[in-house]
Structure 1
Amino acid sequence: MHILFTAITGLAGLTCFAAFSWAVKKHFRQTGAMPLGMKVTSGLSLLGFAWFAWHLTSGVSQAWPLVLALFAASYSVFTWAIRATRRTPPTLAFDTDQPSFLLHHGPYQYVRHPFYLAYLLFWFATALAAQTMLAWAAPAIMAALYFDAATREERKFAMSGLSSAYAAYRAQAGMFLPRPSTLLAG
């Protein structure tokens, strides 16, 4: 039975990772060459996923129900963000474009960076699944990269024609987690 839970966990992780990879190629806009920060993030993501898959060969941790719930939450937030940005896809992380629109619908009404939230949920799930303390290096490294990318994006908005609208939006929606007041109002 443990082999079945391990296989299901591996498939759930692969589904998330494949969706994220698809978005880099087919959903997000790219204004020029792929930014170096995005190349680094993509490379480390691939290494982290390979490490997760390799560790699954020894079986999934007893926390597999929580791991599956985190993968499901990750995939749900990700697909919700994809639907919300279908008509106006954002640029790749670390792009230096000038923002020309601000999203307020879908998950963006609760968090300013729902894609990064989805990725963080995924990395926490991989760490829980792997049964080793070293597994927590991936979410720590990736969280640092996502925080860097998010703060760069926020600086772009602060220096754009959307700065006042973005300041108001920042007061309403949390960076990666919803503000309690937003949840109560929704």
Structure 2
Amino acid sequence: MAQVASNANSDGMTVTVTPSLKGYIHTHLNDYPTDTFNDSGEPLIAQPIRMFSPADVNTLMTMAGMATDGNYRELYGTMVSSYGNYTIMFTGTAADIKTGFDTEQWRKDYVNYRILHKFWSFEKLFLNFLKEKMNVQGIDLYKIKNNGTVQKKTLKSNNNVQSSDCPQ
């Protein structure tokens, strides 16, 4: 995978995907100062999006591509952040598996999409980017609320987010 492990210059992660891997969990950081400065001498602030990235989707799709038993419903990725705790699950078929989203260009496209839609929630941003830019089917988004309940997040016909409580 092209994504690098987290270090002083990157917030990335590396997941070694094997046929037996069913899921992964990771964090997305809050804003933080970088080691670079603007023309006025002020530190530039890194602003990670506290929602799944194209590279996170790529990891889940890679896992689906390696699933030897075709039981995709066991596959998940979980992301913990100050914005919320979320899980994505692969609910598609073999025909829905697409990879190649772990590149620097996809990261830049996602950041630029966020800039264009700066007033959207992270949920709306992610779901619309999946649909409009990545053209990905078969990824479901769930929010794990602080009280332990789980909500499925989907797009309504007007591309706004709809929340549905999952049965306990």
The structure whose residues are more often helix, as a share, is 1
Would you say same fold, with TM above 0.5? no
The higher relative CO (CA closer than 8 Å, separation ≥ 6) is in 1
